[in-house]
A = this chain, B = another copy of it.
Amino acid sequence: MILDKINTPEDLKFLTLAEMKELASEMREFIIKKVNTTGGHMGPNLGVVEATIAMHYVFNSPKDKLVFDVAHQCYPHKMLTGRKEGFTDPDKYLKYSGFTAPEESEHDIFKIGHTSTSVSLATGLAKARDLKGEDYNVIAFIGDGSLSGGEAFEGLDNAATLGSNFIVIVNDNDMSIAENYGGLYRNLQLLKDTHGKAECNFFKSFGFEYYYLAEGNDIEKLIELFKKVKDTKHPVVLHVHTLKGCGLEPAVENKEKFHWVMPGVLDSKEAPAPQENYYSLTTDYILDKAKQDKSVVAISAATPGAYGFTPEFRAKLGSQYTDVGIAEEHAVAYASALAKNGAKPFFAVMSSFIQRTYDQLSQDLCLNNSPVTMLVYWGGISGADATHLCVFDIPLISNIPNMVYLAPTNKEEYLAMLEFSYNQNNYPVAIRVPNIPLISTGEPDTTDYSKLNKYKMTHKGEKVAILGLGNFYTLACKVKEELHKKLNIDATLVNPKFITGCDAEMLNELKNNHSLVVTLEDGVLDGGFGEKIARFYGNSDMKVLNFGAKKEFTDRVPLNELYNRYHLTPELILNDIKSCL
């Protein structure tokens, strides 16, 4: 096997073209086998096997600096830079991160997982090189729709003025995560249609030298192109047309489905019977509303699949659906203006990606008090990669004035909150879509959510009151039971529902026959919900214990380990309560 001989990129340099082709085919096989076992990014990596081999053949990493955008397209790079065991040895499948990770290899410069950052980062590397009088190539490898993010544009704008070596490889696989959207992609299409010859050229408009390669999965042509621009003394864009999913027919046939896959995607299995969950509740709700009200619009930013916005759902909505591309900033401003002009936007977004929009949430949305419904998915502590943690959305969103951020705990509350948000015109509303299995009470929730910051006391007890926010309401129930069992305390149970405010009336009432308030939140404590409760009680005798995540970037730490670290089990919480009473 050729791969046996490859331990560093240096080893590639001794291969013949035929051997490199053979290597590509071996790598592809391992990627398919591994990703089908562990899940992960299938299509993106299959598309860049040849480009990665050619890059490492022509350039000299780590002296030459490669920055991978999104970094989920770095599997072939990992295989060529000392980490192939993560793909060849099933026991080591989980050893390496699915993104670039400097702690793993000197060939990875940045920890990256969010899109559209590579050009900006590479510009900084190049500028440092120039200031220090050093000499090597700096390469940004961008693709999978990342060009539509504002940061990529800002990076291109500045990089174009560098006046020194700088190479952007645009891996154009015709796709974002789902289809590409936006005017820019029409230009990429025009460039492909004209074999790069169209005069109207997005990249040239910035001042980049530009080369087009139609055969982005042809190692020989890639090598030829890379050699041509190696050691260039000015900024260059290489527009390389690759095939997403190349080498795996189902992945080529269905590029969206195979962008990121669950384990076993290739194994013939009965599809599980569709079950009601928060995804289906949401899409059913939106479809229903959209039928009755032509001003309803569902919005996503390039990751529709993450919210169950399937191709069928999108087709049914037609013009009542907008995917803005990887452009969350625009999505928030766009939604704000839609609402301002009388439409009813629902913007679905992952907790991790809403991070890209703090200013738009504050200035475009909340300052203008536009009645948008924002659905924040996946919020909570998880064993995720450090680049996709979803624990920061509460501090991010809830400290912005005017915002109403809601945390439902079950199906009926969620539907009632959706309905409340849809019907009101007074504030921006964000709902933290529960990240736990669906719970149904069977009873419709008739709460009037227009009375802001009214918590719900679900059990009136004494001594200890437990505030279980959103996902962690069930944990609060368990703690209550334990308190009863182990300490014979009949604790009060509260479902706060509102993340963005304190229910002063209820909190004051608790002072009468409670000495401790416990808050539980599925997110980072710093800047979060519990601290507001602690501040509220600061001038009183009430003691307050806040439970949630520590302010830290965790990287694929098992959830149980995190729960233990943060004292988020009923037993550990009980212990802390005991020592506080």
Q: How many residues of A contact B (CB 8 A)?
A: 122
Q: B160 and A183: CB pair below 8 A?
A: yes
Contact string, A85-112, partner B, CB cutoff 8 A, digits 1/0?
A: 0000000000000000010000001111
Compute how far the CA of A450 lies from the CA of B416 in the bound complex, rounded to whole angstroms.
51
Could you tell me if A183 and B200 are in contact, using CB atoms closer than 8 angstroms? Answer: no
Give A268 Cβ to nearest chain B Cβ, in Å.
38
State whether A359 touches B363 (Cβ < 8 A).
no
Q: Which of A172-198 contact B (CB under 8 A)?
A: 181-184, 186-187
Contact yes or no, A149 B154, CB < 8 A? yes
User: Would B184 and A121 count as touching, CB distance under 8 A?
Assistant: no
Contact flags (1/0) for A152-167 with B, using CB distance below 8 Å?
1111111111000000
A524 lies within 8 A of chain B by Cβ? yes
- Closest CB in chain B relative to A252 CB, distance in Å: 26
Nearest residue (CB) in B for A202 is B205
- Considering residues A125, A205, A208, which has the most beta carbons from chain B within 10 angstroms of its beta carbon? A205
Q: Which of A75-83, A319-327, A420-428 binds B?
A: A319-327
Q: Does A531 contact B (CB under 8 A)?
A: yes
Which residue of chain B has its CB nearest to the CB of A399?
A: B527
Say yes or no: is A402 at the interface (Cβ < 8 Å to chain B): yes
Q: Does A113 contact B (CB under 8 A)?
A: yes
Q: Give chain A interface residues in 117-138, CB to chain B under 8 Å.
A: 117, 120-125, 127-133
- Interface digits, A333-346 against B, CB 8 Å rule (1 contact, 0 not)? 11111111111010
Are B205 and A552 neighbours in the complex by a CB distance under 8 Å?
no
Q: Are B160 and A182 in contact (CB under 8 A)?
A: yes
Contact of A362 among B67, B131, B355 (CB under 8 A): B355
CA distance A524 to B294 in the complex (A): 40
CA distance A120 to B359 in the complex (A): 13
Q: How distant is A548 from chain B, measured CB to nearest CB, in Å?
A: 10
8 Å CB contact of A539 from B120, B156, B322, B544: B544
Q: Is the CB of B532 within 8 A of A330?
A: no
Please determine whether B552 and A401 come into contact, CB atoms closer than 8 angstroms. Answer: yes
> Does A2 lie at the interface of the complex (its beta carbon under 8 Å from any beta carbon of B)?
no
- Please, which residue of chain B has its CB at the minimum distance from the CB of A396? B358
What's the least CB distance linking A264 to chain B, in Å? 31
Distance in angstroms between the alpha carbons of A308 and B297 in the assembled complex: 46
Query: A569 interface residue, CB < 8 Å from B?
Result: no
CA distance A160 to B319 in the complex (A): 15
Once the chains bind, are B204 and A125 in contact (CB under 8 Å)? no
Count of identical protomers in the assembly: 2
Q: Is A543 an interface residue (CB 8 A)?
A: yes
- Chain B residues with Cβ below 8 Å from A334 are 120-121, 123-124, 127, 155, 158
Cross-chain contact B355 with A358 (CB below 8 angstroms): yes
A395 at interface by CB-CB < 8 Å: yes
Task: Find out whether the CB atom of B538 lies under 8 angstroms from the CB atom of A545.
Answer: yes
Q: Determine which of B207, B526, B539 lies in contact with A545 in the assembled complex, contact meaning CB atoms within 8 Å.
A: B539
Bound-state CA distance A359–B112 (Å) is 12
Q: Report if A202-B202 is in contact (Cβ < 8 Å); known contacts: A125-B337, A158-B324.
A: yes
Q: Are A364 and B117 in contact (CB under 8 A)?
A: yes
Bits for A405-433, please: 1 = Cβ < 8 Å to B, else 0. 00000000000000000000000000000
Asked whether B392 lies within 8 Å of A327 as measured between CB atoms, the reply is: no
Given the known A-B contacts A359-B356, A538-B543, A580-B539, are A125 and B183 also in contact in the complex, defined by CB atoms under 8 Å? no
Query: Are A368 and B154 in contact (CB-based, < 8 A)?
Result: no
Least CB separation from A327: chain B residue: B154
Q: Does A448 contact B (CB under 8 A)?
A: no
Cross-chain contact A395 with B392 (CB below 8 angstroms): no
Indicate if A199 sits at the interface (CB-CB under 8 A): yes
Residue pairs across A and B with Cβ atoms less than 8 A apart, 10 shown, are A113-B363, A124-B339, A150-B153, A157-B327, A158-B325, A200-B200, A205-B205, A367-B387, A527-B528, A535-B544
A interface residues (Cβ-Cβ under 8 A, vs B): 65, 67, 102, 109-114, 117, 120-125, 127-133, 148-161, 181-184, 186-187, 199-202, 204-208, 294-295, 297, 319-320, 322, 324-325, 327, 329-330, 333-343, 345, 355-360, 362-364, 366-368, 386-387, 392, 395-396, 398-402, 524-528, 530-532, 534-535, 537-541, 543-546, 551-553, 576, 579-580
Given contacts A110-B336, A395-B527, 6 further A-B contacts (CB under 8 A): A120-B337, A121-B337, A125-B337, A128-B342, A131-B294, A531-B531
